[in-house]
Structure 1
Amino acid sequence: MWSFVCLALIFSLVLCYGLVTRSISTAKRFKLPGPNALPMVGNVFDFLMSTESAFYYLRYLANKYKDILEIKLGTAQCLVITHPKDVETVISGTRHNEKSYIYRFLRPWLHDGLLLSSGKKWHQRRKILTPTFHFKILRHFNSVLIEKSAKLAENLQSEVNCAKTNIYPFISDFTINSICETAMGTVLDEESSTVSKSYKNAIHDLGTHIFYRAIRIWLHPESIFNLCQFGRTHKRTLNFIHSFRDRVVEKRRQNEYFDNLYTETMTESDDNFVMNDKKRLAMLDLLLNSEKQGLIDSDGINEEVDTFMFEGHDTTAAALQFAFMLLANNTDVQDNILEEYYKIMGSSNKRPTISDLSEMKYLEACIKETLRLYPPVYFMGRTCDGPLTLRGIEKLTPKTIIIAIFDLHRRSDQFVEALEFRPERFMKEPTWHPFSYLPFSAGPRNCIGQKFAMMEMKLAITAVLSNYRLLPVTKPQDIVFVTGIILRTKDPIYVKFEKR
């Protein structure tokens, strides 16, 4: 055991040695704020703590050093920024579009999917996948999401008058089934639904594995990580996740899909798109059709399915979890949402259309405010491609730039009563900098599925509130966060359901 540790440390020191000169010269030229770093290892030992402590330590650093701070992982310089003007500099153009070093730990899972790819490959994949979330296709997805939302409300019937309900399992079932039936065109059968529960747990485990590895520089080399017990556990988890993905893809392959999906090339803003109404279109159909045309291979399909299975269910489930918690603690907001809903829908039992949903401005404000306080993607990392100027410091050349979205969204100079739940702030013209609110990122790499996610959340919330009054159990001040790949809590979030 000790020989393995020594070998790992020696390897890490050799790996870092080549970067020492550059790191020292950078430190001499620029005195950046941040915690004191040790030679060679930087601030790595500062983060050898629990995932809970690490989350709040990062919040402490962001608050102490305000707009910008430097953290060193080994000898690699990492800038953490929270000022909207600096954020705009980094993500508004195409220069710093490549994901940062930390995302490499996601590659064994997502490989070169849309989240992690860059350059020509990213542009090609974005072009292939853009039609999936076109307005006219979302109209077809709407009927599926209405059915899944109704099922969510039905499943919660068993929780009526219980002292408290852990809402996440109900919500994640809803989101995983929704993304499978819409974007993947695959209805989960009973066996698959059972396996999907393990899939969701496996994704949680991956987040823990990735953080554990990221803060231990001696585990960064693949050869060393794969030899240790933790690396072997990580591999088994990945194998299970990929097997679930294979099940979804194979089920769709066995069904017929379009050979000629479109009558013409389409972009996100194209309103002249014509789709065959005889069959619901799925993202996976697009990928399979692109495979026939030689634009993508089976590995590429797997990359994109893994990416969208994760992003399409886990982030939305996290957002809905926080939304229901906030609504339970603000019963007047629930009443306002329902008042708006019935005003638009009338007393009939008609199904809400996309046009109906677009009129629900107050509900949308509630969702936006939830995403401000609890952004599921609470940080972003980019690689610095050449010198840049931040906070008046010119020619900065950090290896990595981290945008601390959680702290950015809670800046008191951008949002009045920044820590309070105030949906009405989104009912007015924004008074904040456009790059101080980034729940779906911004710039060229903004979230391709944000319209889908908003539609899904609106339908889920209205379906639940139409049937139940939410009562508080977990309060915002009770929440303890942990560090992961998306915003997670240490303990379950509980809500009480009362029949209306």
Structure 2
Amino acid sequence: MSPLPLTLRVRDVHRFRMVILTSGMQHHKKSDVYKILRPLLQEGLLVSNGPKWLKRRKILTSAFHFNVLKKYFATIQDNDKALVEYLKDAGGNPVDIISTVSGYTLNTICEATMGISLRGEVTNKSAIYKTAIYKITKYITYRFSNVYLHSDFIFNMTRLGKSQNKILSVVHDLTTSIIQQRKQSINAEEVSTIEANEGEYLGKKNRAAMLDLLISKQNEGLIDDVGIEEEVKTFMFAGHETTAACLIYTLLLLAIHPDVQNKVIEEVDYIFGKDTRDATLEDLSAMKYLDLVIKESMRLYPPVNFIMRQTTQPCKLSNFDIPANTMCAIHIYDLHRDEKIYPEPDKFRPERFLPENSAGRHNFAFIPFSAGPRNCIGQKFAMMEMKSLLSSIFRRFDVAPVTKISDNLSFSVDLVLRTTDPVYVRFIERGLHSIH
């Protein structure tokens, strides 16, 4: 495999991202190292390449059309309310937001896109799944870091390989159960409405789910049982781990920066006043400052901190000739902290993303959702979910720090940007105490 030149001028780095990320189908192939994810995700949208990826992307794009996203919103709000009640019960005591928020995002993605709730009587399944995913991602990261384990034959003979196969059965059992439950609970008319009906579903029985679309496509012969399982696994993993990471870092940053937190509270107070009504999608669109906060959080702590592509044909990068089959790594964490792009890059300043402060900034200076044909298909869903939860929290709570970034925050090597230790904050009901 031909290596990429090790030293590139800054302007060449931007050119590199443009060539690799927006070259249509020329360089959209995921690097061969992504095959390490296949035991977990099989060949779903995140891992697949070529015609299979293109076909799946076309099928799934309609599940994230704006008219369909509206149908997910009521489910997101239900989960917001459940989490707010949990935080109220905590009584202002420190809360481990890693376990709390990841539980929220896992149930939200399952209920909104799969139509199955993991709350209530099956909560234990949620905990088992999260534990299994945590262990498997550790194994995947270790395998990625040791070239001799890239071989499936060698890895499967090791203790880690055998342990991973046992844990994978837990993930397989849960996803199979979700698919079977959904197939049993819907009829042909309900399946077809995800694309045909633009009205919002407010009744629990009739709410839309991405899985409904996949089942309807199976009825048309466009996908089979294995394909549905691949995409369910992909969206359960990618749809809860990354969103949870962003919410965790955003809450921590707002707890540590009360001046920024106050601006968020002022914005939600301006929108809602003392009204306890549910938020609308129009309300979320009006949360301009919260949008800046989330972007700045993802700049500092991008949930997926690096991506890899493989060139499928030779390309030119400034004075460099890049051969086909070159593995290209884009380190998003480092890019987002480039002081030439972001002065004082380690400081939390949401105003960086105001239009007047973003003018002239390279389009690929901020890519938390990747870019080009293989950008994150669920980014609008993720932003809707994050704004909905954060606004729900700050309508009711002040958030105070327990964990301090300077003293307690360190990262582990993983697929998603994780901390090595729990992250604690306190949620103080605004009627009892206020920091602003």
Match of 1:256 in 2: 186
1:387 aligns with 2:318: no
Q: Is the 8 A contact 1:379 1:406 kept in 2?
A: yes
User: 1:269-313: CA deviations, max 9, x gaps?
Assistant: xxxx74585722110000011111110000000000000001111
Alignment of 1:295-334 (within 5 A): 295-334=222-261
- Matches of 2:416 and 2:14 in 1, distance apart? 21
- Matches of 2:389 and 2:194 in 1, distance apart? 34
SS at match of 1:363: helix
1:422 offset after TM fit, Å? 0.5
Which of 372, 379, 397 is the aligned partner of 1:450?
Answer: 379
RMSD of the alignment, in Å? 2.2
1:153 paired to 2:84? yes
Specify the code of the residue in structure 1 equivalent to 2:336: H
One of 58, 61, 70 as aligned partner of 1:127: 58
Q: Could you report, residue by residue, the CA deviation over 1:235-284 in whole angstroms, capped at 9, with x for unpaired residues?
A: 11111111111121111111114447558978xxxxxx745857221100
Q: State the distance in 1 between where 2:103 and 2:26 align.
A: 39
CA contact (8 A) 1:411 1:418 kept: yes
Deviates more, 1:356-365 or 1:218-227: 218-227
Q: Deviations over 1:380-435 (max 9, x none)?
A: 11111122233531244453111101111111111122111101111224242111
User: How big is the shift at 1:120?
Assistant: 1.6
- What residue in structure 2 maps to residue 114 of structure 1? 45
Q: Which residue of 2 aligns with 1:213?
A: 143
Moved more, 400-409 or 421-430: 421-430
- How far is 1:179 from its partner? 0.8
Match of 1:182 in 2: 112
User: Which amino acid counterpart does residue 366 of structure 2 have in structure 1?
Assistant: Y
- TM-score, normalised by the number of residues in structure 2: 0.91
Q: Which whole-Å CA distance do the structure 2 matches of 1:258 and 1:336 have between them? A: 48
Q: 1:67 to 1:378 in 2, by over 3 A?
A: farther
Q: How many residues align?
A: 423
How far does residue 156 in structure 1 lie from its aligned partner after superposition?
Answer: 1.3
> Which amino acid in the other structure matches residue 446 of structure 1?
N
Identity of aligned residues (%): 39
Confirm or deny that 1:371 pairs with 2:301: no
Residue 266 (structure 2) pairs with residue 339 (structure 1): yes
Distance in 2 between residues matched to 1:249 and 1:101, nearest whole Å = 29
SS of 2:316's equivalent?
Answer: strand
Contact 1:262 1:274 in 2 (8 A): no
Q: Are 1:82 and 1:407, in contact at CA under 8 Å, matched by a contact in 2?
A: no
- Do the aligned partners of residues 226 and 443 (structure 1) sit closer, same or farther apart at CA in structure 2, a change above 3 Å counting? same
Structure 1: state its 5+ residue gaps.
Answer: 1-18, 34-64, 69-80, 267-272
Provide the rounded CA distance (Å) in 2 between the counterparts of 1:391 and 1:366.
Answer: 35
**In the alignment, structure 1 residue 400 sits paired with structure 2 residue 327:** yes
Aligned to 1:6: none
Question: Do the aligned partners of 1:199 and 1:241 also contact (CA within 8 Å) in 2?
Answer: yes
Mark the runs of 5 or more structure 2 residues left unpaired by the alignment.
Answer: 431-436
2:160 is aligned to: 230
Which residue is 1:54 aligned to? none
Among residues 240, 247, 272, which one is paired with 2:170 in the alignment? 240
Q: Greater CA deviation, 111-120 or 322-331?
A: 111-120
C-alpha spacing 1:238/1:82, structure 2 compared with 1 (3 Å): farther
Aligned partner of 2:122 in structure 1 is: 192
What is residue 434 of structure 2 aligned with on the other side? none
**Aligned partners of 2:187, 2:212: CA distance in 1, in Å?**
6
| 2: CA distance, partners of 1:264 / 1:299 | 21
336-345 vs 367-376, which moves further: 336-345
* Partner secondary structure for residue 448 of structure 1: coil
Stretch of structure 1 that moved more, 99-108 or 347-356: 347-356
The DSSP-based 3-state class of the residue aligned with 2:45 is: coil
Q: Which amino acid aligns with 2:306?
A: F
Contact (CA 8 Å) 1:82, 1:404: kept in 2 or not?
A: no
The one of 482, 486, 490 aligned to 2:412: 482
Partner-residue secondary structure (3-state), 1:83 = helix
For residue 230 of structure 1, report the CA deviation from its aligned partner. Answer: 0.9
> Cα–Cα, structure 1 residues 262 and 198, in superposed 2: closer, same or farther, change >3 Å?
closer
Q: Counterparts of 2:200 and 2:221 in 1: how far apart (Å)?
A: 23
Of 290-299 and 383-392, the range deviating more from structure 2 = 383-392
Q: Tell me which residue corresponds to 1:439.
A: 368
Tell me what 1:74 maps to: none
1:200, distance to aligned residue in structure 2 (A): 1.0
1:379–1:403 CA contact under 8 A, matched in 2:
yes
Report what 2:400 is aligned to: 471
Give yes or no for contact 2:194–2:213 (8 Å, CA) kept in 1: no
Deviations 1:469-493 (A, max 9, x none): 1112222223211111111111111
